[in-house]
Amino acid sequence: MAGLQFWKPGTLGPGSNLDRAAETEENVVPSAPSTLSLQASRERLPIFKHRQKLLHAVEKHGVVILVGQTGSGKTTQLPQFLYEAGWAAEGNVIACTQPRRVAATSVANRVASEVGTMLGDEVGYTIRFEDVSDRERTRILYMTDGMLFRETLVDPLLSRYSVIMIDEAHERSVYTDLLLGVLKNVLPFAS
């Protein structure tokens, strides 16, 4: 898998040379000309050719750790792949946490454009003091890790989410570490 690799416990871990060893020119996505459609831009990302493998891994395993280069499409594309595969059906939501407010808002804006919806409709974000989402319609929700942690106080099982992505987990914020502990305890109750 060029540019995108799964990490298996017991092997070189995330942040090691595992994800940097494959940095060759073939894995670097050149800037797309502005004439490319959003769909064509999506298809040029390294993650696109691994779509089926990723969906299979999420379906088969309770926890998936994805390691890939910056700009490979992990944050923007994986939630869309899950959405298109039906993981947001029946009122479920796909959550993707971000360690910073600016990241949550800008990524949500980009994904809303790619999905072809207004920000706050099918794709939204929630950060401290600002919620641009609709509880009934939003299916892909970007949020700070602190906001998801606060949600565990009201719903300890995080029952409205079908998938929870903890993005940038290697940055090790307090909320990310707490969320990983909470999710470890919630996992046995996931259906």
CATH code of domain 77-191: 3.40.50.300
Q: What is the pLDDT of residue 16?
A: 46
* Rounded Cα–Cα distance for residues 82 and 55 (Å): 7
How far are the Cα atoms of 63, 95, 181 from residue 57, in angstroms, in the given order? 9, 17, 22
How far are the Cα atoms of 54, 61, 179 from residue 184, in angstroms, in the given order? 21, 14, 8
Q: What is the pLDDT of residue 37?
A: 82
Q: What is the pLDDT of residue 98?
A: 95
Contacts of 15-19 with C-beta under 8 Å, sequence gap 24+, read 15/170, 18/67, 19/67, 19/68, 19/69
Q: What is the pLDDT of residue 8?
A: 57
pLDDT tens digits for range 31-85: 444 556 888 888 889 999 999 999 999 999 989 999 999 999 999 999 999 999 9
* Rounded Cα–Cα distance for residues 88 and 98 (Å): 19
Mean pLDDT score of the chain: 85
Within the chain, which residues score under 50 in pLDDT? 1, 15-33
Q: How far is CA 35 from the centre of its chain?
A: 27
Domain span(s) for CATH 3.40.50.300 in the chain: 77-191
Instruction: Find the DSSP H helices in 37-172.
Output: 38-44, 51-60, 74-84, 101-115, 145-154
**CB of 2 within 8 A of CB of 27?**
yes
Q: What is the pLDDT of residue 172?
A: 86
